[in-house]
Amino acid sequence: MVWVAGLTFASVWAPLHAAAQDILSGSITLEARGFPREALLPEQPDATLSLSGEPEIYLTWGDGVQSLTFTPFFRLDSSDGERTHLDIRELFWQIYGDSWEVRAGLGKVFWGVTESQHLVDVINQTDLVESPDGEDKLGQPMVNLTLLRSWGTVDLFVLPGFRERTFVGSDGRLALPLPVDDDNEVVERDVGYAARWFHTLGDIDLGVSHFWGSSRDPRFLITADDGAPALLPIYETIHQTSLDLQLTTGNWAWKLEALTRSGQGDRFYASVGGFEYTIGNIRRSGADLGLLAELNLDSRDDIQFGDQQVSATPFDQDLFVGSRLALNDVQDTQLLGGAVVDLGMGAVALFLETSRRLGDVWTADFEVRGFVNTDPSGPLYGVRRDSYGQFSLHYHF
């Protein structure tokens, strides 16, 4: 059924987009996941199929100076009702002058330089049902003023409206150990503010940011939701000051993200730093090989959770090592693989992501995530049986 829907959708879009190529673009994706190990709960499936789409409508006038961008997103999932969802990733108006830009509406902003974790990237809420890697984000209401100066770029944000994180339902795989009570969530502030200075000094790209608002990553309380134990997310008001730094020279990119945050218990510090070393054009094949290593640290103490101590973050003391291979061929074949090792507990999260173009308008990717040697007090314990393989086919218009 989903197949038929997808193909019909594609055949309807194709002629439409030819007429409106500059206005409409985007992609439709069919995704299949298989979980080789038996689930923890009987209602969790061994395989899922889902269909998602992210069209973008872009209107511009005044010689490109003003524009309107609208990017809705939907996913239909065969098993998890929480994963079946609709979002507006972007719906914003933009205007710019010689040395300033203004954006207003729902938007998406990325800060940071590292690969294993996007530590300082705080403006948008994570759409966690999409992928456990946390790279998918919900649209955030914002007014953003950008000032371009000789001494750097200043970004000022007013962020009215808070978005709660999405969580996989208990009838889906990759769920938290207990159901999330998302009807009674605690959000301390609805309005947030942020400021950022960014500058390039030769080989160095440097950003310093401050954020004041409700934390995007919640702390949890164990409560009884209709008698059964559940996790209650609490989004507390935080002040977070952060730094992101990259030194790019020769084949090396040295990266550091660091932050200090107050408002969630004691003030704490966290950092992620490391390098990416690129060997270009290996043996004149055209392929590039990147070698990556990053160390993640966090000063937060373990927290008492029910009857045990658990880590406050998945990245408390974790080493990421990985490798990136880009063939730079006509099909743009890419491969990224690696492991995040918890240096305290020895738990390992493994991943492999490959992608390739098929013809002109299709791409396919294959992804494997494995959770090995998990510890009952570690963050991976809840997904210890949820290692999976995922195949996606994308149609781009």
Partner 1 sequence: MKTTTKHLDIRGLAAALALAIALAVALVLIGTQPAQAQESGTAGSAAAGSAAAARGMEVALEAQRRDDGFADLTAAMTMTLRNRHGQESTRRMRNRTLEVEGDGDKTVVIFDQPNDVKGTAFLNHTHKVDDDDQWLYLPALKRVKRIASSNKSGPFMGSEFAYEDISSQEIEKYTYTFIGEEDVEGVPHFVIERVPVDPKSGYTRQVVWYDQAEYRVQRIDFYDRKNDLLKTLTYHGYNQYVDQFWRADRMEMVNHQTGKSTTLAWADYEFRTGLTDNDFNSSTLRRIR
- Under the binding rule (CB under 8 A), the answer on residue 390 touching partner 1 is no
Residues making up the chain, counted from first to last: 397
- Kindly tell me which residue out of 190, 223, 329, 346 binds partner 1, with binding defined by CB under 8 A: 329
The neighbouring-strand residues paired with 222 are 231
Residues 6+ apart with CB under 8 A from 9: 28, 53
Shortest Å distance, C-beta 359 to partner 1: 8
- Tokens linked to 125: 């809420």
Shortest CA distance to 94 belongs to which of 111, 71, 122?
71
Site for partner 1 in 183-222 (CB under 8 A): 198, 200, 202-203, 205
Shortest Å distance, C-beta 74 to partner 1: 16
175-185: b or e for each residue (b if 16 or more CB lie within 10 Å)?
bbbbbbbbeee
Please give the size of the binding site for partner 1, defined by CB under 8 A.
64
What is the rounded CA–CA span in Å between residue 83 and residue 246? 35
Site for partner 1 in 253-312 (CB under 8 A): 253-254, 256, 269, 271, 273, 275-276, 278, 280-281, 284, 286, 288, 295, 297-299, 301
CB-facing half-sphere around the CA of 83: CA atoms within 13 A: 23
* Range in contact with partner 1 (rule: CB under 8 A) among 94-102, 180-188, 212-220, 227-235: 94-102
- Under the binding rule (CB under 8 A), the answer on residue 66 touching partner 1 is no
Count Cβ atoms within 10 A of the Cβ of residue 120 and give its class: 0-12 exposed, 13-18 middle, 19 or more buried: buried
The neighbouring-strand residues paired with 259 are 242, 270
- Under the binding rule (CB under 8 A), the answer on residue 11 touching partner 1 is no
Shortest Å distance, C-beta 377 to partner 1: 13
Residues that bind partner 1 (CB under 8 A): 25, 27, 58, 60, 64, 67, 94, 96, 98-99, 101, 108-110, 112-113, 135, 146, 148, 153, 198, 200, 202-203, 205, 246-254, 256, 269, 271, 273, 275-276, 278, 280-281, 284, 286, 288, 295, 297-299, 301, 317, 328-332, 357, 360-361, 363, 394, 396-397
